[in-house]
Amino acid sequence: MGLHIDISAVMANYSALAAKAPGAGAAAVIKADAYGLGAARIAPALYQAGARDFFVALAAEGQAIRALLPDDATINVLSGHMVGEDLTGLVPVLNSPEQFFRDRAMRPGQPFAIQLDSGMNRLGMEAAEWAAIRTEALAAGPAFIMSHLACADEPDHPANAAQLAAFRAMTDGCNVPRSLAATGGILLGPDYHFEMVRAGIGMYGGMPYAEAQQAVTLSPRVIQTRDVKAGETVGYGASWRAERDCQIATVDAGYADGILRALSGTGAQMYAGDVACPIVGRVSMDLITVDVTALEVVPPTLDLICVHQPIDRLADLAGTIGYEILTSLRQRYQRTYP
């Protein structure tokens, strides 16, 4: 199985997103192993592209890449200061008064940041919590204050303007760098950019950044082909029946590799160059069956994620989002970085 990751495309997408917010620094979000693509390879490349601030979800993710980046790279931990975690060389983004007081007691003088809840009700201090500790927190010198938009991928959603107003109300006058926009927020325009933006899914070729370069190609191997006669069935549950004589290829990927079972019967296809080959039968744990009757010669691999079927097209078919498609890709793939 081949998972081909175009690092130059990731770097180009980062640079293009950064250019859309010229007055802000552009951080790189590399949580979940760089959205499943390999943070150990992606993070140093993004540093070369100009990123100096990086975001991970967990302290362990930050420690895994700390030695791979120069000392002037900052690795911010979105889960903040959790009990028992090693934050050496990392910057926790503190999400509650409890985290703030714990961090200041255990790490006096060490860098930290603050996350505020501007309306998503997920992570961050609510307005009343922030008001209660604002003076003390600002006196301690946070590196930045951030929040996160819930509906940035829907530009006309009223929650965007409401969160912007709430964030401004909580932070105006703080004289601390601020960050509100991830990929979708970058595309909303300069009102959302502040001093730092956070490039995430758009770097990896995902929506809502429609201009992104294709960064991922997934090419499972063909293990076997067989002739199937009209009326015969293929796969578990005999759910697909051939309407004509056809040739079926079996490829070496399945839901254990992150190819969602929900793709079964949706019209998802695999590609031999520009030729579409329908997936037939159910996606099983390790295998997918594909109708390759249209091919004169069956190649050694078929493409599932490619320019003809990018991650968000596959996500639409599976009833999910591109984020889940990327982060579901498992470690059995042989990753190459051409």
Q: Which residues are catalytically annotated? A: 31, 236
Q: Which two tokens stand for residue 229?
A: 């006669």
Tell me which residue of 219, 273, 228 sits closest to 249, measured CA to CA: 228
CA 83 to chain CA centroid, Å, is: 26
234-238: long-range pairs with CB below 8 Å, 24+: 234/280, 234/281, 234/289, 235/280, 235/281, 235/282, 235/284, 235/289, 236/281, 236/282, 236/284, 237/282
CA 282 to chain CA centroid, Å, is: 27
Q: Report how many helices (DSSP H) and strands (DSSP E) the chain contains, helices first.
A: 10, 18
State the Cα–Cα distance between residues 177 and 196, nearest whole angstrom. Answer: 7
∠38-44-50 over CA atoms, to 5°? 125
Whether residue 208 has a cis bond before it, omega within 30° of 0: yes
Give the ranges where 146-296 is alpha helix by DSSP (H): 158-171, 183-188
Buried b (16+ CB within 10 A) or exposed e, 296-317: eebbebbbbbbeebbbbbbbeb
Half-sphere exposure of 291 (CA within 13 A, CB side): 24
Q: Which two tokens stand for residue 297?
A: 């010669």
Cβ atoms of residues 81 and 102 within 8 Å: yes
